[in-house]
Amino acid sequence: MQQIIDFFKSSGLPEYAVQKNVKSFERNPDIAAEFTEWLNTGKYKGKNPIKVEGYSAQDIVALADFLDGAGTFNFLITLRERPEKAKGYIKDGFKMK
């Protein structure tokens, strides 16, 4: 988890945003592990990736190529914790309202 903390701190986020992101990943250790793998390699897991509601991180970035790794894995958390909201974003083509 320290690598995730360091990543968010180095990204210039205010401390409250760092803590909010870290807590999300703490609640989802499987997604945190895959995000850490992405931090180390810069690649999304091709074999046996985590799927949430049928979507992997690679699927999400294919749908929303403007997302970086942090955004992609945070979206997987949203998909798990608030599936209807996340599916709405997917359905709307990730257009912000």
Specify whether the CB–CB gap between 79 and 67 falls below 8 A: no
In eight-state DSSP terms, residue 52 is B
Q: Could you tell me which of 96, 49, 95 has the C-alpha nearest to residue 76?
A: 49
pLDDT score at 46: 86
Task: Scan for tokens 């701190």, then name that residue.
Answer: 9
pTM for this model (two decimals): 0.91
pLDDT in tens, 7-53: 999 999 999 999 999 999 999 999 999 999 999 999 999 899 999 99
What lies within 8 Å, CB to CB, of 21 at 6+ separation is 4, 8, 13, 70, 74
d(Cα 33, Cα 60) in Å, to the nearest integer?
17
